[in-house]
Chains A and B, each alone.
Chain A
Amino acid sequence: MNKPIRILAVGCMVLFVALLGRATYVQYFHAGELTSLSAHPNNVRVRDAQYSRERGAIVVQGPDKRRAIAVSRKSHDQYKYLREYPEGREFAHITGYFSRDYGLMGIESSQNDVLSGNDSSLFLNRVIDLVDHQNPKGGSVTLTLNAAAQKAAFDGLKKLNQHVQGAVVALEPSTGRVLAMVSTPSYDPNRLASHHFDKVGKIKQHLLERDPSPLDNIAIETLVPPGSTFKIITTAAALASGKFTPKSQVPGASSMKLPLSSHILHNENNIPCGSGTVTLTVALERSCNVAFGTVGEKLGADRLKSMAHKFGFGETYFHDLDDSLTRQAQSRFPDNADAPQTVLAAIGQGDVAATPLQMAMVAAGIANHGTVMKPYLVDETLSPDLDVLSKTKPEALDGQPAVSPEVAREVTRMMVAVVDNGTGTPAQIPGIAVAGKTGTAQSAASRPPYAWFVSFAPAQNPQVAVAVLIQDAGVARDAISGSGLAAPTAKAVMEAVLNR
């Protein structure tokens, strides 16, 4: 009977080796994934450990020095540290929050490895902390945001109405750095990071149930028709095609019949743009729908679409705020648009839809001599000892330049005319040439139109490009216009960046 016993011994060894192998897999090879909060947000051990760790700060550029918008302060309960957001509401959609029971959002989530100290680049720090018997500390993250611009954007929206629904994005045209990104309604992340856990649950529930949810980041998640601000792209396509110049004559009539359709396209308020024909420049100044509809029809859907895509439509280029709820929405230009759709698309209506971030990139692309840069929010990551771990390098979008520097210069000149003489006058800054474009986009008949304003300044040497979207400010329908609602905020943001 010894032979089967020997065979059995080998069999038992196989079982034990399998156990050892599997244990090694779980506790070594697979452990990294299992203990990553982004992959397994329900891992309460990791969560509690990170929750009671001194987390790194999230920092922005203040007027003269850096300013923390998220910090860990000592607390005297079991978790040792409490996450605080000094200007909670203003930066809510940027910082996100760090909640024990409801996960991580925003930068807290996307940069969690550095902030919590788990990043591989912080390995040495962890070892040293282990040897010193200290709790590991997290590294900090420096954002590209300009605190003054962010404040101007937030205050600008709030000034319209406490419950305004809208967003502002400001970019540095030459790099793609996000200088301001605000979305309202906002929320107070302090209340979600609080250690009063039963209250946190109710607040989170309340935030999710509200429509629109304050947790949504309109600046990157909301797609609405860009309206007349899309005429910048139509203009760029027109000039790039060689068929038009800023002086080309276009129809100034107050209405036109859509091709293959009985619908009539009107100018805003049904006012003619001029007698007979007007120049393309004047058409942009006055934002004439009939003129640009005609231009769009002549260019064709393909030219418009490819121009829109060069500015970033149909692409995902922004990942700095990715978390379990948030993704950058892809702006879209309709596929296989027929003639009436093309006319509508040329004036930013119909099936065209864009995020505020996308429209800021359109302005920034024109401002940056035709080259659209990838927007980014995370400038540097730093170790607890403030050594730089990584620094983001500016990058252009694929397929740049979108337009040649000559075309960009001409579009700029036309946009300056919009602010100097046309619909964009509320954005004028004394002593500085501002280029801009208004937009008032219709959506469903049941809801008020969207007010847009996109601009950049100074026109000769642009430092900042802004897009402002007001979805709903609770004002009368005839008071809604890009120039009236959106332009003042854009102006305030540009002034803040230019130190005016």
Chain B
Amino acid sequence: MASRSPAASWRGFVHRRRRGAELVLLLMSLVVGIGAYAAVGLGAKGTVPSDIYGYGAWLVVLVVACHVVIRIRAPYADPILLPVVSALNGLGLAMIHRIDLTDVPAPQASTQLVWTTVGVALFIAVMFFLPDHRRLQAFTYTCGLAAIVLLLLPLVPGIGRNINGARIWIGLGSMSFQPGEAAKVLLVVAFAGYLVVHRDALALAGRRLLFIDLPRGRDLGPILAMWLISLAVLVFENDLGSSLLFFGIFLVMLYISTERPGWLAVGAVMFGTGAYLSYLFIGHVTERVQIWLDPFKYDSGYQVVQGLYGMAWGGLVGRGLGQGDPQITPFAYSDFIASSIGEELGLTGLMAVILLYGLIVERGLRTSLICRDNFGKLMAAGFAVVFALQVFVVIGGVIKLIPLTGLTTPFLSYGGSSLVANWVIIALLLRISDHARRPPPELVSPEDDDTQVVSAPHALRLPLRGGAEGRTTT
């Protein structure tokens, strides 16, 4: 199955906890976040924001709380993820504050800080109440069902809300929430649980066509269902981005669990068909594609054009925080926050942000690689791919690499639902990585070690997974 057995990675090598390194990185990330906040005030108003101490102290409290909780509950967790997230979140807060310093109506950075606090609270809750991610496997179908209900909620008359053309919101009183963000987390859990159980059937049966092992027709059921759900999200909720994201995650997790590139081929064909059909028949998709091809030609290309102007105006090193005009671009604090960063921090800043996301993805995939149980592996890879796809789709849309779709930029964009969901994802990733990096449990006596390694790696996993899905074939 795998070219190198995961056993080899932990037999002779024990991961260090690296909590000290994490703390140093966290302090650096605070310098980024609080420094950016101060720079925004200096650039836009000529003075450091008056609430800098309270604001800074609060960020420090949040970050330190996370760090302490990790030290207690997940001492072996990946040391890079939290500092990266902290830096992105801090930068996002500073950028949102920057837009609300202008006279364009924009949400308050303080609201976003509240959401950050909620996110951190959930992060801590996950750390405390979920000592082992494998427990989630028991909730596979619950999660799946919950995800579908959440996805359908915005369509329910009365609580569903249509904001900016997409019906992806629910409103409860004055609060509004994007259930799709929570659904994203639940779907990854559900996919991982489902695929871990059904991978054999999906992987082994099938026929070979043109060098690709194509799956059996009857196994196409789940992917077909997922494709239809994605299309439904697109058609009924006008949410191109989420539709693409859900389908992409499912496809990738299916590929990882079955190791069959054939699924990717099938998925690509289905995606291509869906994309082409929606281009033909769904008005706003057609419009998005046209805007992508030539944004200067259409009035509706205004946002993309302003984003491009802003980034070009920023150039290599940017106008400086607080010294550009990012507010000209509509939604400069949410969907187009990448162009705001490009404008004020330049290509340098935007590249740094993209690389930070790259780090999250890389750490997520690394966690997946070294994870000893398949459920954790799938979940970690799924979350990493969520970030990769989401960042690619939203930033790619802003810089006109692909047609623009509405997705949030993780940790940067204004928006509570997304922020909270992403903090939960990070908590789960850290939980999985804590397990993966922890020294192996003393399941076998040292003298049996050699025989264990010679035998198939699954044998080792059997006790860990309670013998549920033992496989003899590779």
Contacts and interface: CB of A to CB of B under 8 A. Distances in A.
Interface string B363-381: 0010011000010011001
A2 to B, nearest CB: 4
A23 B308 contact: no
A23 B312 CA distance: 10
B312 A27 contact: yes
Contacts of A15: 388-389, 392, 396
Contacts of B315: 27-28, 31, 35
Interface in A12-47: 12-13, 15-16, 18-20, 22-24, 26-28, 30-35, 40, 42-46
Contacts of B1: 1-3
Given A16-B357, A40-B309, A27 B347 contact: yes
Interface string B57-72: 0000000000000000
Interface string A323-364: 000000000000000000000000000000000000000000
A4 B255 CA distance: 7
A383 B311 CA distance: 28
B362 A9 contact: yes
A42 B305 CA distance: 10
A208 interface: no
Given A2-B6, A45-B325, A16 B313 contact: no
A125 B3 CA distance: 60
A15 B351 CA distance: 13
Contacts of B391: 16, 19
Contacts of B303: none
Which of B3, B256, B362 neighbours the largest number of chain A CB atoms within 10 Å of its CB? B256
A46 B308 CA distance: 12
B400 A23 contact: no
A30 B313 CA distance: 11
A48 interface: yes
Given A2-B2, A5-B377, A19 B395 contact: yes
A2 B365 CA distance: 10
Nearest to A21: B401
A5 B365 contact: yes
Instruction: Decide if the interface of chain B is mainly helix, strand, loop or mixed.
Output: helix
B310 interface: yes
A6 interface: yes
A128 interface: no
A476 to B, nearest CB: 51
Contacts of B369: 2, 5-6
Contact of B399 (A16, A22, A48): A22
B183 interface: no
Interface in B287-308: 296, 305, 308
B257 interface: yes
Contacts of A475: none
Nearest to B302: A42
Given A3-B2, A20-B351, A26 B358 contact: no
Given A8-B365, A9-B362, A27 B311 contact: yes
Interface in B319-375: 324-325, 328, 342-343, 346-347, 350-351, 354-355, 357-358, 361-362, 365, 368-369, 374
A204 B328 CA distance: 24
Sorting the interface of chain A by its residue count into under 10, 10 to 19, 20 to 34 or 35 or more gives 35 or more
Contact of B3 (A2, A32, A42): A2
B402 to A, nearest CB: 9
B4 interface: yes
Given A1-B378, A27-B314, A35-B312, A22 B365 contact: no
Nearest to A43: B309
Nearest to A35: B312
Nearest to B339: A26
Nearest to A9: B365
Contacts of A8: 252, 255-256, 365, 381, 385
A475 to B, nearest CB: 48
Contacts of B328: 44-45
A235 B25 CA distance: 88
A164 to B, nearest CB: 41
Contacts of A35: 309, 312-313, 315
Contacts of B296: 40
Contacts of A20: 351, 354-355
B2 A19 contact: no
Contacts, number: 136
A4 B342 contact: no
A15 B392 CA distance: 6
Contacts of B2: 1-3
B396 A22 contact: yes
Given A22-B400, A46-B313, A4 B256 contact: yes
A191 to B, nearest CB: 26
B132 interface: no
A3 B313 contact: no
Contacts of B213: none
Nearest to B1: A1
A13 B354 CA distance: 11
Given A2-B3, A26-B400, A16 B312 contact: no
A46 B313 CA distance: 7
Contacts of B362: 9, 12
B231 interface: no
A27 B365 contact: no
Contacts of B316: 27-28
B259 interface: yes
B325 A44 contact: yes
B384 interface: yes
Given A4-B256, A43-B313, A23 B399 contact: yes
Contacts of B3: 2-3
A33 B313 CA distance: 10
Nearest to A49: B313
Interface in B394-427: 395-396, 399-401
B464 to A, nearest CB: 15
A20 B342 CA distance: 12
Given A8-B385, A9-B362, A34-B308, A19 B396 contact: yes
Contacts of B358: 12-13, 16
Contact of B325 (A2, A6, A48): A48
A8 B256 CA distance: 8
Nearest to B350: A23
Contacts of A45: 309-310, 313, 324-325, 328, 343
Nearest to B252: A8
Given A2-B2, A27-B346, A19 B259 contact: no
Contacts of A2: 1-4, 6, 369
B198 to A, nearest CB: 14
14 contacts: A5-B368, A5-B377, A12-B385, A15-B392, A16-B388, A18-B396, A19-B399, A22-B400, A23-B311, A26-B400, A27-B315, A27-B350, A31-B315, A44-B328
Interface of B: 1-4, 6, 252, 255-257, 259, 296, 305, 308-316, 324-325, 328, 342-343, 346-347, 350-351, 354-355, 357-358, 361-362, 365, 368-369, 374, 377-378, 381, 384-385, 388-389, 391-392, 395-396, 399-401
6 shortest interchain CB distances as A-B pairs: A34-B312, A2-B2, A31-B312, A27-B347, A22-B401, A12-B388
